[in-house]
Amino acid sequence: MRVSELKSKIVEEAKKRDTVILAHTYQNPDIIDIANITGDSFFLSQKAKDLKEKRVIMCGVRFMAESVKILSPETEVVLPVPSATCLMAEQISPERVREFKKNNPDTAVVAYINTTAALKAECDVCVTSSSALKIVKALPNKDILFIPDKNLGSYVKKQIPEKNIILWDGYCPVHNKLTKEDIIELKKEHPEALFAVHPESPEEVLEHADMIGATSEIIKFAKSQSGKVIIGTEIGVVDYLSTHEENGERFIQLSREKLVCEDMKITTLNDVYRAVIGEQGESIELDEVLRKKALRSIDKMLELG
């Protein structure tokens, strides 16, 4: 089947089955084309809550499908490729968090949204990369354990020196590969360009940024500029901007070799097709007690943010 035929078939079959296709911006461009809703992970899980359709295909990694299920337990949430996982989301075990809390009852545990449902259930509050600063500031606790991303955690720590923030040694293996030389070299080629970067990147890279933010914030910032913008996040963002915006060539990818998330790219159109027709994929199931505990951490984030 030709790609265009396969795309039409997916759209047709999804419609027939009252199924909505959600895709994170880092997905392959062909999947972005056929998705009903695209965006960052928390945005997608919130959008899913308001759908009248009770079946969604979540094109992304496991924690994203879990987040949709936490917020919409009545919806069937299918992850097309069950092995698609965020390598940062499991870099600390729920048992370790439980033990830490037992020994440090006055320390708030703050978990980045890129964590498993089991970790969300153990923490006190979740944060997205865009809400982390506001939420950590709003917490009454002086002592905070920030899991799992040391880069996002150290960015927050630097901005809020009045708090004692303990960092976990986790990181995104994609963004963490960036070095200051990557941006210094590219800036020599494009000295007039602004630099927007994801806070999962190391501090030495963030130091060169004109803007630091989550996927959706980077897109918004890049669109709002008229000149060149160097983008320091997964290649899906530049692929999206260069095909959906006029003067697409003004968006410049920082290190196309390093900034590819294999787990985000593993899902193909064929996988989505087979998931839509019910021949492939995992329907996410969460223990109800765990789901409610995880939801509490997300609700707390919404309350504070």
Residues in the site for ligand SF4, rule: CB under 6 A?
Answer: 61, 86-88, 114, 172-174, 200, 234, 261, 263-264
Decide which of ligand 13P, ligand SF4, none touches 201; Cβ closer than 5 to 8 Å per partner kind: none
Using CA atoms, how far apart are residues 129 and 269, in angstroms rounded to an integer? 29
**What is the nearest approach in angstroms of ligand 13P to the Cβ of residue 86?**
6
Decide which of ligand 13P, ligand SF4, none touches 87; Cβ closer than 5 to 8 Å per partner kind: ligand SF4
Using CA atoms, how far apart are residues 20 and 88, in angstroms rounded to an integer? 27
Q: Show the tokens assigned to 87.
A: 């390598």
The residue number whose beta carbon is nearest to ligand 13P equals: 40
Residue 145: in which H helix or E strand, if any?
Answer: strand 143-147
Decide which of ligand SF4, ligand 13P, none touches 128; Cβ closer than 5 to 8 Å per partner kind: ligand 13P
- Does position 38 interact with ligand 13P (CB under 6 A)? The reply is no
Neighbours of 160 (CB within 10 A): 16
Asked if residue 25 lies in contact with residue 238, where contact means CB atoms within 8 angstroms, the answer is: no
Asked if residue 61 lies in contact with residue 112, where contact means CB atoms within 8 angstroms, the answer is: no
CB closer to ligand 13P out of 19 and 176? 176
Using CA atoms, how far apart are residues 216 and 232, in angstroms rounded to an integer? 13
**What is the nearest approach in angstroms of ligand SF4 to the Cβ of residue 250?**
24
Decide which of ligand 13P, ligand SF4, none touches 214; Cβ closer than 5 to 8 Å per partner kind: ligand 13P
Decide which of ligand 13P, ligand SF4, none touches 263; Cβ closer than 5 to 8 Å per partner kind: ligand SF4
CB closer to ligand 13P out of 87 and 277? 87
Q: What is residue 274's three-state secondary structure?
A: helix
End-to-end CA distance of the chain: 47
Decide which of ligand SF4, ligand 13P, none touches 239; Cβ closer than 5 to 8 Å per partner kind: none
Q: Which of 91, 215, 267, 297 binds ligand 13P (CB under 6 A)?
A: 215
Using CA atoms, how far apart are residues 21 and 33, in angstroms rounded to an integer? 11
**Residues binding ligand 13P: number (CB under 6 A):** 10
Task: Please choose, from the candidates 70, 76, 51, 11, the residue with its C-alpha nearest in 3D space to the C-alpha of residue 272.
Answer: 11
Q: Which of 22, 40, 47, 90 binds ligand 13P (CB under 6 A)?
A: 40
Using CA atoms, how far apart are residues 155 and 200, in angstroms rounded to an integer? 9
Q: Which of 122, 200, 239, 271 binds ligand 13P (CB under 6 A)?
A: 200
